[in-house]
Amino acid sequence: MNLIFLGAPGAGKGTQARLLQEREGIPQVSTGDMLRAAMADGSELGLRAKGYVERGELVPDDVMVAVIEARLARPDARHGFVLDGFPRTLPQAEALDVMLERAGRKLDAVLYFDLSDETILRRLTGRWVCRQAGHIYHLEFNPPRQRGRCDVDGSELSQRADDRPETVQRRLEVYHRETEPVVEFYRRRGVFSTVDAEGGIEDVHRRVLATIRTRMELRA
């Protein structure tokens, strides 16, 4: 199954993509996670991306398209993927179309996670992630069992540098300007569905599964 998760930062795309990977075995392809890993390694990609990510701006399209092209060609993504954080601009969406067409692949569903700006701000400013594997927590909505420690691997939790209030504001502006047109780009296609992203993780997960099922039935 080839899926795209769209929505503002903090809408829950990463949390839901990870759940789908764990429970359904569809690989999560998160460009944000890939960039953060590259930055932690100090690789060439990481060095190029660092300034943009830290300012809450977008990494240039040509860089991101090359990253995704290489990632989707890897064996685990050959039979399906959940794109989380890509495409974020119209040129990225157009490049993805070309890439999939060339590979003879099709999108099965594009899920748009719909959430109010107010909830987005509350979610982002309370978000903490584990240093080891990026498991996501929220001080209020999804707290870890032990303060400051990941439930899964026990590693230390930290706040993403770009979840600071000034940067969050910038990321939301960039989202409205660059990524909302991408939502409109896919909305006109048959594969598009809106998911109500308010509420708890398991509730949203059930809506995600139901939406994917409906899409698959319509396709069959």
Q: What whole-number distance in Å separates Cα of residue 24 and Cα of residue 63?
A: 30
* Residue 9 or 12 having the CB closest to ligand AMP: 9
Q: What whole-number distance in Å separates Cα of residue 50 and Cα of residue 38?
A: 9
Residue 12 contacts residue 204 (beta carbons within 8 Å): yes
Can you tell me which of 127, 171, 207, 215 binds ligand AMP, judged by CB under 6 A? 171
Q: Specify burial of residue 105 (Cβ count, 10 A radius: 0-12, 13-18, 19+).
A: middle
Helix (H, G, I), strand (E, B) or coil at 121: helix
Q: Which of 36, 123, 127, 215 is catalytic?
A: 127
Number of residues that bind ligand AMP (CB under 6 A): 17
Of 19-27, 86-94, 106-114, 144-152, which part binds ligand AMP (CB under 6 A)? 86-94
Q: What whole-number distance in Å separates Cα of residue 26 and Cα of residue 217?
A: 18
Can you tell me which of 52, 108, 151, 161 binds ligand AMP, judged by CB under 6 A? 52
Site membership for ligand AMP, residue 71 (CB under 6 A): no
Residue 112 contacts residue 59 (beta carbons within 8 Å): no
Q: Which of 18, 36, 123, 160 is catalytic?
A: 160
x/- site string to ligand AMP, residues 122 to 161, per CB under 6 A? ----------------------------------------
Which of 86, 80, 82 is closest to 63 using CA atoms?
A: 86
Residue 15 contacts residue 136 (beta carbons within 8 Å): yes
Can you tell me which of 18, 88, 207, 215 binds ligand AMP, judged by CB under 6 A? 88
User: Would you call 177 a catalytic residue per the annotation?
Assistant: no
Contacting residues toward ligand AMP, per CB under 6 A: 9, 31-32, 35, 52-53, 56-59, 64, 85-86, 88, 92, 162, 171
Active site residues: 13, 88, 127, 160, 171
